[in-house]
Amino acid sequence: MTKDLRRTKFVRFFFPALTAVIAILAVFLITGSPIPPDPNLEISRPSDNCTSILVGKLASTDGSTMTTHTCDCGLCDWTWRHVPGAKHQPGETRKIYHISQFKTWPPEEGLKWDLIKRDFTGLEIPEVPYTYAYHHGMFGYLNEKQVAIGESTIGNVRKLDNPTPTPAFDITMLTIIAMERASTAREAIKIMGELAEKYGYGFHDNGEMLAVADPQEVWIFEIIPVGPLWTPESGKPGAVWCAQRVPDDHVSVCPNESRIGEIDLNNPDYFMASSNVISCAIDNGLYDQNSGKPFNWKKAYSPINESAVSSNGRYQRLWRFFDLVAPSLKLSPSTPNMDLPFSVKPDRKISVEDVINLTRDRSYGTQFDPTSGIRGGPFKNPNYYRQTRTISDSRAEYSTVTQCRDWLPDPIGGIVWISFGAQDTSCYMPFYAGVTELPKSFSIGDHWVLNRESARWAFDYVDFHVQVIYSEAIKDVQQALLKYEKPIIDQIPEIDKKAAELYGKNQKEAIKFLTGFCLNNAQNVVKAWWNLGDQLLVKYNHLYYYDVEKRTYQRRFPTYPDTWQKAVKAFDILIESEGK
């Protein structure tokens, strides 16, 4: 063996080993933890799938409380249904089902919300005299009493996971029961918390956050399992949970990270929690009551120690949201997310249109811009570069924006805006709390079978054609939004007024009017998106520009940006030099 070859092998094997040793020592010196760290204290991290925005009533332009949910999964069921209210007789029971957020069935087998009955937990709880009507997709989103919910998975310390079927409740089932029984946000939180404590929480889910709102208040509710050994016979709570109210003049966000820090249970106007909120942490070695430090919920149960910068943009949504709504705070993207505020007062009040636009944010113009340089390819496509996780995400099954408004009767005051697929290529459609049905097309379809009877596939059809030539085709989508989304947003006050007038004379006629308005608008939008998809296919066929009206096409359209062309040339030169 030559001296040079020995030196090469030494460098190749010694330095990586030395680097690993230094890294381990650094962890020990910084954390003081034993080496290796206790795997039970590792975090079951969520896969960055959902973002939920919360707006207090004094932080909105019209006095609405608002929540959002981006159901970012990529393979989940996207169907929606309306569940009517119902009266129940004494002695009736409510069956509880295990409902996986991710499980789907082939369309020929039936709808998910019928097939979940195959997963009966064996638990039946006493029914209430009346269950409220509500709209739901993956979760319950809005009921007839204007109780609204958004969701975001937050994860937890792994030792608290309970993947056994012993817990009767998953997060989806909790939201459905809340929709059926709650008339306020506080009531929804108490119902979900008490059921989870009594019957257990977990199985399909670990740490979860729900944005729970009514016309007066908005709360962040977080719930976590208590470990795989829990049984109902133990006499201990089967979940640990905590809730914190967002101040009325503030906004907040949950981007798959626990948001609740120090808690003050002596202030019930802003905090609620399970009886074991602190004792569970002590029992599991997650909090030292003799440390002299105040108890901190997220540091105990879901400590994700990252910042926008340290995570290379993976955990930048929290900073990005606050920087968008309150740029005057000049929050640094290097600030650990754990140290960012629970909520902020926005620099200006926020409208429902603002919130819709926030759900479409791609961090353009920041250091986390997914189209910066050559990241987005020749057509500035934000979906190519996956390192950065933005608020808007192409994997979205659908997104929601809820509004709860106290100056209107409940059936008129509550609205859930629904968009299918990626937010930037979809259109939000409003559905009032009082409508008695959702479009049939909302209950059809899945990822594996294209179906032109499915509303969702209309938006996927457009999105697919946009991806090919994003920087040009997205302009066509934005023009469609100006025609089909913007006018409806502007028209809502007029619809509110007419519905309220009808409601004062004949409630059934008011409900009929709202149902007809929502169904007709959704039908028009879905039809328009199918047509838009056809138009995009023709207009940008073969990456040329086909002018339908003039019946001409341009061979050299669009012009590829200089940045991309230079990058291609530089890469070619690099490959040539390596080949010599």
Say if residue 30's pLDDT is above 50.
no
Question: In this predicted model, which residue has the larger pLDDT, 509 or 577?
Answer: 509
What are the CA-CA distances from residue 22 to residues 7, 211, 226 (Å)? 22, 42, 35
Q: Dihedral sign, CA of 307, 313, 316, 317?
A: negative
Lowest mean pLDDT among 44-53, 296-305, 374-383, 438-447: 44-53
Per DSSP, the three-state class of 521 is: helix
pLDDT, residue 289, reads: 94
* Continuous segment of H or E residues that includes residue 546: strand 545-547
pLDDT, residue 37, reads: 44
Q: Which residues pair with 130 in a beta bridge?
A: 87
Give the span between the Cα atoms of 570 and 572, in whole angstroms: 5
Q: Mean pLDDT for the chain?
A: 91
CA angle 221, 297, 70 (to 5 degrees): 40
pLDDT digits (tens, 9 = 90+) for 129-188: 999 999 999 999 999 999 999 999 999 999 999 999 999 999 999 999 999 999 999 999
What is the chain's alpha carbon radius of gyration, rounded to the nearest angstrom?
A: 26
pTM for this predicted structure: 0.91
Structure tokens at 123: 């638990």
Q: Which amino acid is at 394?
A: S
Give the span between the Cα atoms of 245 and 260, in whole angstroms: 10
Q: Which residues pair with 55 in a beta bridge?
A: 66, 251
CA angle 159, 165, 169 (to 5 degrees): 90
Say if residue 469's pLDDT is above 70.
yes
Say if residue 16's pLDDT is above 70.
no
Say if residue 40's pLDDT is above 60.
no
Q: Kindly indicate the confidence band of residue 305, based on its pLDDT and cuts at 50, 70 and 90.
A: confident
Q: Kindly indicate the confidence band of residue 21, based on its pLDDT and cuts at 50, 70 and 90.
A: very low
Sequence-distant contacts of 503-510: CB under 8 A, at least 24 apart? 503/409, 503/411, 503/412, 507/411, 510/411, 510/412, 510/434
Per DSSP, the three-state class of 551 is: coil
Neighbouring C-beta atoms of residue 7, cutoff 10 Å? 10
Q: Which residues pair with 70 in a beta bridge?
A: 399
Tell me which residue of 302, 417, 324 sits closest to 368, measured CA to CA: 324
Give the span between the Cα atoms of 368 and 382, in whole angstroms: 11
Structure tokens at 357: 């636009």
What's the rounded mean pLDDT across residues 455-463? 98
Lowest mean pLDDT among 40-49, 351-360, 466-475, 547-556: 40-49
Say if residue 35's pLDDT is above 70.
no
Please state, for a pLDDT cut of 70, what percent of the chain lies above it.
91
pLDDT, residue 23, reads: 36
CA angle 282, 285, 289 (to 5 degrees): 40
Q: Kindly indicate the confidence band of residue 32, based on its pLDDT and cuts at 50, 70 and 90.
A: very low
pLDDT digits (tens, 9 = 90+) for 242-251: 999 999 999 9
pLDDT, residue 563, reads: 83
Q: What is the DSSP letter of 443?
A: G
pLDDT, residue 41, reads: 60
pLDDT digits (tens, 9 = 90+) for 198-246: 999 999 999 999 999 999 999 999 999 999 999 999 999 999 999 999 9
pLDDT, residue 558, reads: 63
pLDDT, residue 117, reads: 95
Q: What is the DSSP letter of 102?
A: S
Compute the 3-state secondary structure of the chain and give helix, strand, coil in percent, each to the nearest 5.
40, 20, 40
pLDDT, residue 386, reads: 87
pLDDT, residue 47, reads: 64
Q: Kindly indicate the confidence band of residue 7, based on its pLDDT and cuts at 50, 70 and 90.
A: very low
Tell me which residue of 326, 402, 330 sits closest to 359, measured CA to CA: 402
What are the CA-CA distances from residue 114 to residues 81, 109, 157, 443 (Å)? 11, 10, 34, 12
By CB atoms closer than 10 A (0-12, 13-18, 19+), residue 160 is buried
Per DSSP, the three-state class of 277 is: coil
Domain boundaries, the chain: 3-37, 44-407
Say if residue 14's pLDDT is above 50.
no
Per DSSP, the three-state class of 62 is: coil
What's the rounded mean pLDDT across residues 367-373? 95
Tell me which residue of 154, 163, 258, 157 sits closest to 201, measured CA to CA: 163
Question: In this predicted model, which residue has the larger pLDDT, 58 or 395?
Answer: 58
Answer yes or no: are the C-beta atoms of 523 and 530 closer than 8 Å.
no
Sequence-distant (≥ 6) Cβ neighbours of residue 150 within 8 angstroms: 52, 53, 54, 67, 68, 69, 141, 210, 211, 400, 402
Q: How large is the greatest C-alpha to C-alpha distance in the chain, in angstroms? A: 98
pLDDT, residue 48, reads: 66
Give the span between the Cα atoms of 365 and 371, in whole angstroms: 9
pLDDT digits (tens, 9 = 90+) for 389-420: 999 999 999 999 999 999 999 999 999 999 99
Phi, psi of 262 (to 5 degrees): -70, 145
Q: Kindly indicate the confidence band of residue 578, based on its pLDDT and cuts at 50, 70 and 90.
A: confident
Q: Kindly indicate the confidence band of residue 553, based on its pLDDT and cuts at 50, 70 and 90.
A: confident
Give the span between the Cα atoms of 322 and 341, in whole angstroms: 9
Say if residue 67's pLDDT is above 50.
yes
Give the span between the Cα atoms of 397 and 256, in whole angstroms: 17
What's the rounded mean pLDDT across residues 383-389? 91
pLDDT digits (tens, 9 = 90+) for 562-574: 888 888 888 888 8
Tell me which residue of 32, 41, 36 sits closest to 299, measured CA to CA: 41
Give the strand order in the sheet containing 140-143.
81-83, 134-136, 140-143, 148-153, 208-213, 218-224, 240-245, 271-273
pLDDT, residue 527, reads: 98
